[in-house]
Amino acid sequence: MYGKNIETLKKENMNLADKIYIFDTTLRDGEQTPGVALTVDEKIQIAQKLDSLGVDKIEAGFPAASNGEFEAASEIKSLDLDSTIVGLARSIKSDIDTVLDADLEYIHTFIGTSPLHRDYKLKMSKETIISTAVDAVEYAKDHGLAVEFSAEDATRTEREFLFDIFDAVIDAGADFIDIPDTVGVLTPIITKELITDIKSYFKAPVSVHFHNDFGLATANTLTAIECGANQTHVTVNGMGERTGNTSLEEIVVALYAAYGIDLNIDTSQLYSLSEFVGRLTGVKMPVNKPIVGDNAFAHESGIHVHGILNNSSTYEPISPELVGHSRKIVLGKHTGANALKSKLNDYHIDLDDDQFEKVYSQIKALGDRGKCVTDDDLKAIALTELGSARETPIKLKGLGLLSGAIVSPTATVKLEIDGVEKETSKTGVGPVDAAINAIRELIEGTMNIELEEYNLEAINGGTDALADVFVISSDDKGNKSTGRAINDDIVMASILAVLDSINKLLLIQRSNK
Ligand code: KIV
Ligand code: ZN
């Protein structure tokens, strides 16, 4: 918890409700995400996970919308979960009947209230809308349902009319009134004014249902709760119509981290739930999605990693374990030596100073070329360095390649051999072959080599993967040697691997003399 003590804040600025309910609508509004459709079985699995997480209410669907929606709602209800199972219904009897037929005990009924909805969608007068809502609430109450009433598009509804309809449905027995920001037009300041006004007038519990069109759903919801809202509708990963709804993981963690409010949610399940929902819906979270994105606890910069390694709170607002996520140290051009050392330690790879410097400069060079170095890349680079020739009498000083459909592949190679630079150009069946032919010619006076084995692998797959080349070369004296190199360019990796093996052969020959 940061900033002021919660009790001081409560006294000074806030009107926090004693209990804040989490109403999850992933299975209803979340499923309205364009392109998403869940099977009954998938909905059941998500409902079970939401229940185990500890949400108070699960909106299982819109039973009147289809047989599948009906089946999912009634099957989820039959699981007898701890969470209350809710069904959505328009304010019409036939919809309410399907909620009753699904054996649900809690209904979320709604009708549009804004001028736009009245005039262009419902074509109803204000009076008719109020009487329709009241009839629906009375009918649902008469049939034993707990009732939550939503004034759809409440935030673009005239304040007076909004109060009139809420007054009427509360008189009719509504247990909760809900304020949908249907097209996400609220800002925190407007939310504060609206919720403060509503809370000072109505005694009934107030819920909010905020959409994220301007990226403000979480901020607005937090403000609503600070002003006394008793409940918020949320979805896993912030899924929902257009840009979605208030995200479950964001609001739960923000309330906990900022104010220490514990909603009885098992936050350690948030990351796995997000992954699960992402997999079932096919909607992957962007890497920078708060709380559950791949980068939520990832660090690359040297300064940040240094801080994190000393005390993770320096650059993390919460620990990844709180939400079941994990910390990631990413290697790239911002990587500092401390981060690299810590990674190598994790993999028990011991490098001397010289080897470390070489690995470090390779990582930086790859970063400068726009590559992000994965843990597998690092292991391969470090292990290759460990196995590389200790001395390099032959060094690559330059490489030029010419390749294409209408020219013979040609390589120009410049080597420094025992301090003397030499250069030549050769052709071959491909650029790798041409370069190796050029090397053979350049070292002819020094040694003759045969390439016995050439093996190329891509680390981590993908077209931008690092190439890992392993070769075995032999000389005309019967010596054999391996060579290995890793590079983001296949030809370069091949040449460096061949030179590595040649250097080793040369060292063997010289030590035999
Ligand atoms: O956003 C909205 O207005 C809704 C209603 C059905 C409550 O989802
Ligand atoms: Zn909605």
Hunting for tokens 């069109």 — which residue is that? 213
Q: Judge contact between 154 and 184, C-beta under 8 A.
A: no
Ligand 1 atom nearest 241 alpha carbon: 1
pLDDT at residue 108 tops 80: yes
The per-residue pLDDT for 365 is 87
Q: What is the rounded CA–CA span in Å between residue 382 and residue 341?
A: 11
In this structure, the residue with its CA closest to atom 8 of ligand 1 is 29
Tokens of 338: 């401390």
**How far does residue 362's CA lie from ligand 2's centre (Å)?**
50
Q: What is the mean pLDDT of residues 309-328?
A: 93
SS3 290: coil
Q: Which of 33-37, 42-46, 446-450, 455-459 has the highest mean pLDDT?
A: 42-46
The residue ranking higher by pLDDT, 369 or 200, is 200
Any ligand 1 atom below 6 A from CB of 29: yes
CA 286 to centroid of ligand 1, rounded, Å? 25
Bridge partners (DSSP) listed for residue 466: 459
Please work out whether the CB of residue 475 comes within 6 Å of at least one atom of ligand 1.
no
Q: What is the mean pLDDT of residues 185-196?
A: 98
Q: Is 128 or 476 the better-scoring residue by pLDDT?
A: 128
Q: Give the pLDDT confidence score for residue 509 in this predicted structure.
A: 86
CA of 216 to the centre of ligand 2 (A): 14
Q: Is the CB of 209 under 6 A from ligand 1?
A: yes
CB-ligand 1 contact for 110 (6 Å cutoff): yes
Q: Is the pLDDT assigned to residue 490 strictly greater than 80?
A: yes
- Reported confidence tier of residue 461, pLDDT bands at 50, 70, 90: low
In short, whether 182's Cβ falls inside 6 Å of ligand 1 is: yes
Q: Is the CB of 152 under 6 A from ligand 1?
A: yes
Say which range, 118-132, 217-231, 431-445, has the weakest mean pLDDT. 431-445
> Is 210 a pocket residue for ligand 1 (Cβ < 6 Å)?
no
CA 362, 367, 369, 374 dihedral sign is positive
Check: CB of residue 175 under 8 Å from CB of residue 205: yes
Alpha carbon 98 to its chain's center: 37
Which of ligand 1's atoms lies nearest the C-alpha of 154? 3
Q: 341-370: per-residue pLDDT in tens?
A: 988 998 899 999 999 999 999 888 888 887
pLDDT at 1: 55
More confident residue, 55 or 477: 55
Dihedral sign, Cα of residue 258, residue 264, residue 265, residue 267: positive
- What is the position in ligand 1's atom list of the atom closest to the CA of 108? 7
Ligand number with the minimum distance to the CA of 246: 2
pLDDT at 3: 55
Query: Ligand 1 in contact with 473 (CB < 6 A)?
Result: no
Query: Which of 57, 152, 162, 246 has most ligand 1 atoms within 8 Å of CB, for mutation?
Result: 152
Over residues 212-241, mean pLDDT: 98
What's residue 281's pLDDT? 95
List, for residues 263-299, the tens digit of each pLDDT value.
999 999 999 999 999 999 999 999 999 999 999 998 8
- Asked if pLDDT for residue 383 goes beyond 80, the answer is yes
Residue pair 212/245 in contact by the 8 Å Cβ criterion: yes
> How many angstroms separate the CA atoms of 487 and 493, rounded?
5
Q: Contact 26/45 with Cβ under 8 angstroms?
A: no
Residue 180 CB–ligand 1 contact under 6 Å: yes
For the segment 431-458, the average pLDDT, to the nearest whole number, is 90
Residue closest via CA to ligand 1's atom 1 equals 182
Q: Please tell me the predicted confidence (pLDDT) of residue 464.
A: 73
Q: How many H helices and E strands in the chain?
A: 17, 16
Report the percentage of the chain scoring pLDDT > 90.
74
Q: Residues 2-21: what's their mean pLDDT?
A: 77
What b/e readout covers 260-277, taking b as 16+ CB neighbours within 10 angstroms? eeebebebebbbebbbbb
150 lines ligand 1 (CB under 6 A): yes
The three-class DSSP label of residue 93 is helix
Ligand 1: which of 157, 211, 213 to mutate, most ligand atoms within 8 Å of CB?
211
Residue 179 and residue 191: Cα distance in Å, rounded? Answer: 10
**DSSP code, position 479:** -
Confidence of residue 115 (pLDDT cuts 50, 70, 90): very high
